[in-house]
Structures are given as structure tokens and as C-alpha cells.
Amino acid sequence: MALSTKPYKGTRDFYPEDMYVQKWMFENIAKTVEGFGYQPYDGPMLEPFELYAAKSGQEIVEKQLYWFTDRGERKVAIRPEMTPTMARMVAGKVMELPKPVRWYSIPNLWRYERPQRGRLREHWQLNVDVLGGDNLFADAEILKLAHAVIAGFGGEDKIRIAINNRKLINHVFKNLLKLDADAALKASKAVDARDKIGEEAYLKLLAEAGLNSDQTSTMENFFKSDLETVCSDFDCEGARELNELFSVLKDDAISSVLKLEPQIMRGLDYYTGTVFEVYDVSPENNRAMFGGGRYDNLIGLFGNQQLSGVGFGMGDVTLRNFLESHNLLPELKSHLDVFFVTANRDAVIQSEKLASDLRKLGIKCASSLSTAKFNQQLKQANKLNAKIAVIIGESELENQQLTLKDLVKGEQTSIATNQLTSHLKSMLPGSFN
Ligand code: HAM
């Protein structure tokens, strides 16, 4: 039986047209985050299993992690997220790194998930993190940056940023609902999964966590609170932090899309303060587009030094869905400046010489690698979106001439071979170095 040409379930092949989109998205992101002073980093795709077991949370470790035992009997995981790698790297040089540490990366990550809209088994994820600095200002910066990344694509009025604080949730679970730590964790997981699993399964999980109907409705009421109510009803650090954050951001462009939503939990266990999710307002993309939060205890896992951080992760799948839903993706095509059409062996050899001179001047050029009929070669040129065909036929070779065909306008001219560069300069002014 012939081998399948399909990629592994939940993964994508990136044919050139997809690579152009990916590259464009990542370049756009890099421009925005580097504008805020963030520096690129990367790490290995494989990490010791324990790195995730320590803090990522049960769902990732038990249900989504790809892992294996290597030939040296080490338990190795393929990274499902970047934050533990980033924390390991920061902890490894924590004394030397200038603070605040502002880092970004766009790694590919693997999670064994049920493939669906916005969720695959392999995705690329922008990670932006700042460690050190004043917590309030760092939280505000990360939120502004999340907003700016989307604004960089022209989509800033098509999102909603839902924000909450883990300390507030902990306070409510403990003091209002009187839940113990185990019940609180289970309830928070149920709330986090609510949209994904539906109302019936959600209520079942709450009951399993030990919540009675009074507690469930008290919690539901709490989820409807706005900032003012939260601040007047709950005397706790979480409410105060939220209040300060809203006040610091009140004159920023983000304020029109930022909203307190007390049901925001975030699935990962390491968040300790501010948490947020960014939603696409288009009903087509109903799951969170991206999210993040503050973690106080990750760096400390690697030694004595504590360094608090805040950041977010944004997947390329949800970003692309967002850009497509709102028509924010430009038409991206490969393009060649010049395509050589060649009649015979000598013409191919001459085209190679001319091409290597042009490349030094920044012109993108290629030849057909054949001596097929001109019509066929011109079709190839059109498929590659070449702007100009340089035709070297037998008569051209004999008379030391070239025929230039403008493939956009359809116009054709004959020129002396040694005039190629000057002609192209007037035809393709923007393409030269
Ligand atoms: P996360 O919520 O697990 O957070 O993932 C962040 C984002 O990555 C999601 O909102 C989504 O855009 C994308 N994503 C996650 N899983 C998938 C998937 N299976 N397919 C496609 N996209 C996906 C984290 O991973 C945190 N480490 C982010 C972070 C960085 N927090 C602080 N710094």
C-alpha cells in the first residue's frame, strides 16, 4: 500500500503559501514586541518530564504531554508550553541578567488535544514575558503589549480583554464559599473548562468538587460583579491589585476593551496574581484567542532566588483565524523579479551568469532549468508571479541581445545584453539594493 501524504493528526504541512503567511505574522509580531524592548530567546524542544510535572498542571501533564523514555532511560517530554523552559533559562542566569528581563519567543509546541477550530496538536506560540520590575507596572505593560500586538495587525477594536486576579478568586473561594484547597482547585478547573465542556458537565464537576447549590449560585453571582462591586465587597489584595491596574490603564488605548470578568481562571497552575484572556469578538472564534498572567513562584523552583514574572502566550492558529475572520490578512504571494526563459544550453549558461550578477544587486531571479518551448517556460514564470521574463533565444544569443517581457503589462522590448541592469533599474525601481 502506498504511504499516506497526510500529515500526522492535528499537525499542519506548511506549503509555501502558508509559510508566507506565517512569516508575515511572525515578522509583524517581532516588530511590535521589539519596539517594547523585548529580546528574542529560544530553548530545546525536549525537556525533562519533571519540568512540567512541577507546575504546569494536571491537564497538561496527564492528558496532553507527549513524552518518551530515551535510550539512557531518561523520561523526556516534548515541550507543551514555553514558560517552564523560559523560567529554567532565567533561573540559570538570574544574577547576571539585566532586570527587568524582557524576553519573547515563538516556539512550536506539542499538546495531545482533540483537534478542533483553534486547537491543534502542534502550534506555534508567541511567548512574551517580563520578570522583575514593579508588579503593577509590569502587569500593565504586558496588557498594553497584548493590545499592541493585535493593533499591529489592525484588529484592536475587534477584541475584548477579560481580566481577573487569582488572589481575588482564592479569597472568594476560601472566605465566601468556604472551600478547602482541594475543592477550590477542582472548582477553578471546572470554571476554566466551562465553555469547552458545556453547562451540564460543568455543573457535574462542581458537584464532584463538593459545591452545593447555594455555593454554586453564590459563585455565579460573584461572576457577574463589576470592578466597583468587587472593590467594595471584598477587602483583599486581589481586589486592590485589580483596582490599581485599571486605574494605571484608564487613559490608555486598551481601556476601551479591558473588562473585569471574575470567571477568568486560566488553566495553568502557576498563576498567582493577574490573569487575563483575550477574546475575538467574532462569534466564529468563540474560544479564547490568547491569554496569560502573573507567576510568583516559578523561578524559585530552580533555587533560592525568587523573581516574579508576568507574560502571555498567543497561538498562531487562533491568530490566523482572527485575521481571516476580520479580513486582516493581506494577499501574500511569492514573487520573483526576473525569470529567465532559455532556448538552449548556451542560453542557460548565459542566464546563470546574468542571474548571479543581478542577485548581487538584490534582484530575486531564477531560471526554468530547461530548454522547453517558450510558451511553457512563460507559463512557469506566471505561476511563480515573476515580474519580468528575460528571454534568451537563438537569435538573441547571436545578436548579443535579450528580450524583456513585462509579465504584468504584457509589453515586450529588445535590448542589448550589456544594458540589462540599466533597463531593469527603470522597470523594477524598488527591487534593487
Ligand atoms: P495557554 O493558555 O495554555 O498558556 O496557551 C496560550 C495560548 O496558546 C492559547 O490561548 C492559544 O492561543 C494557544 N494554544 C494553546 N494550546 C493550543 C493548541 N493545542 N492549539 C493551538 N493553539 C493553542 C500557556 O501556554 C502559557 N505558558 C502562556 C504564558 C506565557 N503565560 C505566561 N507566559
The Å distance, Cα 146 to ligand 1 centre, comes to 13
Pocket test for ligand 1, best of 9, 22, 125, 275 (most atoms within 8 A of CB): 125
Torsion sign (Cα): 54, 60, 62, 65: negative
Choose the weakest-confidence range: 99-108, 139-148, 181-190. Answer: 181-190
C-beta atoms surrounding 283 within 10 Å: 7
Residue-wise pLDDT tens digits, 45-58:
999 999 998 777 78
Quick check: pTM over 0.85?
yes
Q: Is the pLDDT of residue 180 over 80?
A: yes
Q: Give yes or no for residue 125 CB within 6 A of ligand 1.
A: yes
Residue-wise pLDDT tens digits, 254-305:
999 999 999 999 988 899 999 999 999 998 888 899 999 999 999 999 987 8
Which residue has a Cα nearest atom 20 of ligand 1?
119
Which residue has a Cα nearest atom 22 of ligand 1?
315
- Ramachandran sector of residue 298 (left: φ over 0; alpha: ψ -120 to 50; beta: rest): alpha
Pocket test for ligand 1, best of 11, 51, 278, 318 (most atoms within 8 A of CB): 318
Which residue has a Cα nearest atom 29 of ligand 1?
312
Q: Give yes or no for residue 280 CB within 6 A of ligand 1.
A: no
Pocket test for ligand 1, best of 78, 81, 114, 266 (most atoms within 8 A of CB): 81
Q: Grid coordinates standing for 404?
A: 524583456
- The CA–CA distances, whole Å, from 263 to 29, 73, 149 equal 29, 42, 25
DSSP secondary-structure letter at 251?
Answer: T
Cα dihedral: 361, 362, 363, 366 (round 10): 100
Q: What angle separates helix 345-360 from helix 420-427, to the nearest 10 degrees?
A: 60
Residue-wise pLDDT tens digits, 113-137:
999 999 999 999 999 999 999 999 9
DSSP secondary-structure letter at 94?
Answer: T
pLDDT exceeding 70 applies to what percent of the chain? 100
Question: 199: Cβ–Cβ under 8 A, 6 or more apart, which residues?
Answer: none
Cis status, amide bond into 429, omega within 30 of 0: no
- Secondary element (H or E) of residue 171: helix 166-171
